[in-house]
Structure 1
Amino acid sequence: MKYNVARLQEFFLEMAAETYASGEKAARTPGRSWERTFERSRGELTYIDRFIVNGEYSGGETRIIEADAPVWMMHYGGKCKNDDSELLAFLKDVLSGAYRRGKFYGGRGIDQVATQIRGSRHWYGNQYEGGFQKCAGYEYIATVENAVIKKVFWHKYHCLLLGDPE
């Protein structure tokens, strides 16, 4: 199958901005307190972001479905030290900014951003290769503790168009 990549990318950026990055709470799966889902539809397109959390560790998959066929996916997973809500709020701000710009940075945040959290400087970084059709990357948040740079959040991710571009 051939897919309109620009249309799918625009849909992804809009839906990603409206869900996790917006701070909205994900639906919990009954009987699985550790699993959460965002789901949105527009016309024949459906966005599903399903992720699991186990303390500091998390992972998930984002899918775009068109007319009941999977057309794009992203897998991601990593760690957030102490499941820190302030770090996650910073991450959501970074992601939201990237999505609202309408540019695809590997499906995550822009290359580098800095902020203060509890009086300490924190940096977000995102290193990726590829574009919406096929990408892989690594995002992180780091700080300096006792003159040593420490990563306090990280995710590895990859994405793939499940067909050919138009």
Structure 2
Amino acid sequence: MIKLITLCLLVVFLTACSSIKLSRAGYEEASHNVLLREGPLELRRYSELNLVQTKMENNEGSGFMRLFNYIDRGNSKKSKIAMTTPVFTSEKKGEKTMAFVLPSKIDTKDIPVPVNQFVETLTRASGLYAVHRYSGRRVQGAPKKIQRQLKNWIKKTTYCLKVN
């Protein structure tokens, strides 16, 4: 009986894992080359990217929902836009932002205008980006810890990082 329960739990676990992997595989990922990897830390070279971006207040959920509404017809063309990965979050001079990468099939001149005044579209230049890979929701206090971890990691490598 215990073997049967263990087998059932294993099947449920493996099914859940495979469905998560399949659903993530369905998203277009922004084109990049990984130059260096150490655990969840990566140094990536991204090509030029078209983004939709918003400021985040204390609650990152509000920023995410504004961006989600944009790709869910909250734009001038009322078009549904596919979700992509990664979702970029950054902080400069105390201002936090969240950005979705627009699918590569959307040409720069055809990017729909956001309906929400707090959402903007922009093009991010190609360049090197230090990345901490994770999935799911962020843990309170984790961004500062991850930022320190990334800065220390970059200092150990042969690359230089301009710290704002």
Q: Give the structure with the larger helix fraction.
A: 2
TM-score normalised by length of structure 1: 0.24
Q: Specify the structure having the higher radius of gyration (Cα).
A: 2
Q: Give the structure with the larger strand fraction.
A: 1
TM-score normalised by length of structure 2: 0.24
